[in-house]
Chain A
Amino acid sequence: MAVLAAHNLRKSYAGEEVVAGVSFGIAPGECFGLLGPNGAGKTTTLRLCLGLTDPDGGSIELMQRPVPGEARPARARVGVVPQMDNLDPDFTVGENLLVYGRYFGLAERAIRERIPELLEFAGLTARAESRIQTLSGGMKRRLTLARALINDPDLIFMDEPTTGLDPQARHLIWERLKQLLAGGKTIVLTTHFMEEAERLCARLAIMDRGRFITEGSPRELILRHIEPHVIEVHGDGVTEWADREAGGLATRLEKSGDTVFCYAADPASLLASLSGQRELRYLHRPANLEDVFLKLTGRELRD
């Protein structure tokens, strides 16, 4: 039984289709990743699923309830970590959790009993009385995550949970998310960090221009869309080398700035060719999700 199911979702703003026929189902305990460049329609899809805006077409079921019709009671079983921090700046860490719990209609005592546990989970036990302004970016994100857990939700929506965090803070968030998954929670995650998606998501979809352009496990997507070996080459004369030699040896070539990306099933002949080129420097690595992402959504900037 899906905790979230969307069928042929559509939403337009000013004549432009931001979500253009999206369907998916999410099973309990799963971590589903929604990847896409800025403006792909990820956040709008989340807003539609939460019933915060009405779709122009299609249907949504959240926690077995039709959305937007029964979105409000459905949200009682859901937690949300929004993209932008919206902790209450007038309150302490503890008060933020208390006040948020009240929005769910939880009993005062039940909330107060739950707070120490959540502070522990977020690593903020010593900061219960701190004002929000004194917290670091990582602490704020962890508190936002703790706040999303106040109602012990079955499903957690996370909109770019680690954007703007340093590597230490990011790893700590990832560890907590894995802990939640191990505890049986379902997570829907939007991100444009491929590493994040590869680490956490059992299944993901790449979204662009309002559509899902591919869907599967990270490994499946790499196998399906991209050659297993990547050689990134740069240095003086790389363009000439690419035109002269690499074109015939690689399955596919991509140029980006002063770097040439060579994709190949068998890298041996490319490596042999490169060994004779003193001016060129190269990196040979296995293909990853980012290669898939860039192949499918292109390398040009999206703003």
Chain B
Amino acid sequence: MHIFAPPSMSLRFVPVWRRNLLVWRKLAIPSILGNLADPLIYVLGLGYGLGSMLPEVGGVPYIAFLAAGMVCSSTMNSATFEAMYSAFSRMHVQRTWDAIMNAPVDLDDVVLAELAWAASKSVLSGVAILAVVWLLGLSGSVLSLWVIALLPLIGLTFGALALAVTAMARSYDFFMYYFTLLITPMNLLCGVFFPVEQLPAAFQAIAVFLPLTHAVAIARPLLLGRIPPDAVLHALVLLAYAAAGFYAATVLFRRRLLK
């Protein structure tokens, strides 16, 4: 097989995806609570703390503004963690991938399964936070239900990008670079905590190219009860990142594991 061939897509990924689901089910409750705690602390701490000092942001209370950012950011974080630390454990530490590839399952199937799983798990986190947002009364619009449809796309985008990083990692330490150089800047530049328009023009120009900006640009209007302008365009940007990340990950994993 040529290393640059397009990823082969087949349903053979399903048993591998189910393997990860079975592991997750054993730890589901602590896992969901763990994924929920961090964003919840931000929403409540910053939302009420900082929010009490701020007038409205973008025409809504700060906590409602922040909630949309946190739904996107924590979905991104969840997919990223799963596709980096957990996938790396399965590939490199536990050698689970080796065992799977001795069965009639190819590396491409395993990579697709990891992507689908990272996206699935991040959707669960995203929905959990969304549920809290609804319970706190931070979003009452029927339009906010559409965010559920957005979450898989966010998961696929950041899962795919993280898998490409995993394919290059020699140890867990490597992932710190990705967090420091990309995830943290995205959290600050992409409109999670404050509107992108507050940034100097140079940073705004960078933010346009970052995928999280486009996720927030769809999610925030929906949660605030408006139809997002240019939603299709933003979704296409996310899709392009997902496709590019998935292709890069597939090629890099082949180069690493099929040599």
Q: Give the B-binding residues of A (Cβ under 8 A).
A: 13, 50, 52-54, 68, 72-73, 75-76, 80, 82, 84, 86-91, 95, 99-100, 102-105, 147-148, 151
Contact = CB atoms under 8 A, between A and B. Distances in A.
Contact of B15 (A68, A103, A148): A103
Given A82-B102, A88-B19, 5 more contacts: A72-B106, A90-B26, A99-B19, A102-B19, A104-B104
B226 interface: no
30 contacts: A52-B102, A53-B258, A72-B105, A73-B104, A75-B102, A75-B103, A80-B102, A82-B98, A82-B99, A82-B102, A86-B94, A86-B95, A88-B19, A88-B94, A88-B99, A89-B94, A90-B23, A90-B26, A95-B22, A99-B15, A99-B18, A99-B22, A102-B15, A102-B18, A103-B15, A103-B100, A103-B103, A103-B104, A105-B15, A151-B103
B176 interface: no
Given A54-B1, A103-B15, A86 B104 contact: no
A82 B94 CA distance: 13
Contacts of A82: 95, 98-99, 102
Interface string B5-39: 00000001001101100110010000000000000
Contacts, number: 65
B52 interface: no
B15 A86 contact: no
A103 B105 contact: yes
B101 interface: yes
Interface residues of B, number: 23
A54 B259 CA distance: 7
Interface of B: 1, 12, 15-16, 18-19, 22-23, 26, 94-96, 98-106, 258-259
A86 B96 contact: yes
Contact of B258 (A52, A72, A105): A52
B94 to A, nearest CB: 6
A98 B193 CA distance: 46
Given A52-B101, A80-B102, A82-B99, A103 B16 contact: yes
Contact of A76 (B1, B16, B18, B104): B104
A103 B96 CA distance: 12
Specify which of B12, B18, B22 lies most central, judged by the most chain A CB atoms within 10 Å of its CB: B22
B95 to A, nearest CB: 4
Contact of A91 (B23, B95, B258): B23
Contact of A75 (B15, B96, B104, B259): B104
Nearest to B12: A105
Contacts of B102: 50, 52, 75, 80, 82, 148
B104 A105 contact: yes
B50 to A, nearest CB: 40
A281 to B, nearest CB: 46
Contacts of B1: 54, 68
A80 B104 CA distance: 11
A274 B67 CA distance: 91
Contacts of B96: 86, 88
B12 to A, nearest CB: 8
A168 B103 CA distance: 30
Contacts of A80: 102
A86 to B, nearest CB: 4
A80 B105 CA distance: 13
A100 B258 contact: no
Nearest to B14: A102
Contacts of A89: 94
B105 to A, nearest CB: 5
A53 B182 CA distance: 34
A72 B104 contact: yes
Nearest to B110: A103
